[in-house]
Amino acid sequence: MDVVSLSQPTRRIPPPCWTNDQTVALIEAYRDKWYSLRRGNLRAPHWQEVADCVSVKCGSDLPKTSIQCRHKMEKLRKRYRNEQKLVDSFLSERMNKKVKRMPTPEA
């Protein structure tokens, strides 16, 4: 007796491509909304306003959804934080090397 699998393999939809203009529009729309909320957390309706703003500025055939905008901003913030950590560790390493090279004061 042959066993037939009833479940089909699920296909993941690739993430949407963001152009540089769309990314800049997203960052600007997010920044404006974030400041208007006095640096508070954005809720679902706020993300929809951000997505609408990106669509108006960029006028794409496939407008970005609020979820796509939120995920893109989360990834951008995460990437920014990781790069900041690298810069901070690089700078602290350089400072440590400079301190080690400094002559010791003689008493």
Q: What is the pLDDT of residues 34-69, one digit of tens each?
A: 999 999 999 999 999 999 999 999 987 789 999 999
Is 90 exceeded by the pLDDT of residue 100? no
What is the per-residue pLDDT for 3? Answer: 59
Exposure on the CB side of residue 28, measured as CA atoms within 13 A: 13
Q: CA-to-CA distance for 74 and 50, rounded, in angstroms?
A: 14
Considering the chain, what is the average pLDDT of its residues? Answer: 86
79 has a pLDDT exceeding 70: yes
CA distance 17 to 34: 24
Residue 12's φ and ψ, nearest 5 degrees, are -80, 140
> Letter for the amino acid at 53?
C
Q: Which residue has the higher pLDDT, 22 or 93?
A: 22
